[in-house]
Structure 1
């Protein structure tokens, strides 16, 4: 299929907040939130100020990027590792006792591959309590990682991961 990206409309995608709020978030994100010197204990409060629902005892390390805080719901006792990227064009829900490790990507956005103008095909992500997205793992749009499920280091979850299931890449070492 030939792509005609000039015709892309972004139909059906609502950013959820006015442009001024989006701009304010991007300024705070890039000038303060991701920096090594910004206190870890303040990151949940900043996300809450922009509409995120954040539980207690949430640890968010430096260089964590959150696209839209108002589309983020995090339970209690969650760890988000250095360099993780929560690309939440749609809702990301993270249950309690979840670990999202270093450089992991949670990506709710995609495109319709059969659309000549490559329109959006976004979907929410849900990480059930006790799940773990390991270092450099990727969870794609529309995926639920079940209770105590694991997306192993550098693995890609493009379908739901059942409770207690483990997704890895390649053959065992």
Structure 2
């Protein structure tokens, strides 16, 4: 029997104090996600809160990032409108990665076998040139390979090798190296 009253935050480090967390939420929900905020300012705000971001990164509006200090983005990556990076643990996006509209990268989970439903979180790594397509979900602990593709609407719960397409119907097939 599950006992949610026994749940604690044991083993989960938010990485910053309450004041910084509150300040980030205020900035994220007023300026960062707004349609009128220039993409350059979004990048600057993430950097100001501790994200490591390369050159030429494009971040569209309505993007949510739980903890910027647990985010690393390589050069020339794109993050599309409404994408959600739920990074209780580190998320690393390589160079030339595309995270499309409303995609979800979720490093948090729970141990369904434990009565207290304790956290079972793990980082996500997305290799150079990979594409997380529209409304795709990448779950905790997954590594997406170089130039791999997580197809639109797909849910990825295990590692995806380089140059592999994972589709919404849970099929995999090789893809060609981009020209």
Q: Name the TM tier (shorter chain).
A: over 0.9
User: What SS is found at the alignment partner of 1:46?
Assistant: helix
Q: Is the 8 A contact 2:131 2:150 kept in 1?
A: yes
What is the alpha-carbon distance in structure 2 between the residues aligned to residue 148 and residue 40 of structure 1? 24
User: What SS is found at the alignment partner of 1:6?
Assistant: helix
In the other structure, the counterpart of 2:8 is 9
Compute the displacement of 1:39 (Å): 1.1
What is the alpha-carbon distance in structure 2 between the residues aligned to residue 43 and residue 37 of structure 1? 11
**TM-score w.r.t. structure 2 length?**
0.94
Count of residues in Structure 1 that have an aligned counterpart in Structure 2: 171
What is the alpha-carbon distance in structure 2 between the residues aligned to residue 150 and residue 110 of structure 1? 23
Return 5+ residue gaps in structure 2 as ranges.
Answer: 172-179
Alignment of 1:6-85 (within 5 A): 6-85=5-84
Moved over 6 A (4+): none
In the other structure, the counterpart of 2:128 is 129
What is the alpha-carbon distance in structure 2 between the residues aligned to residue 25 and residue 58 of structure 1? 20
**TM-score w.r.t. structure 1 length?**
0.97
What is the alpha-carbon distance in structure 2 between the residues aligned to residue 93 and residue 65 of structure 1? 15
Aligned-residue Cα RMSD (Å) equals 1.0
User: What SS is found at the alignment partner of 1:93?
Assistant: strand
Compute the displacement of 1:157 (Å): 0.6
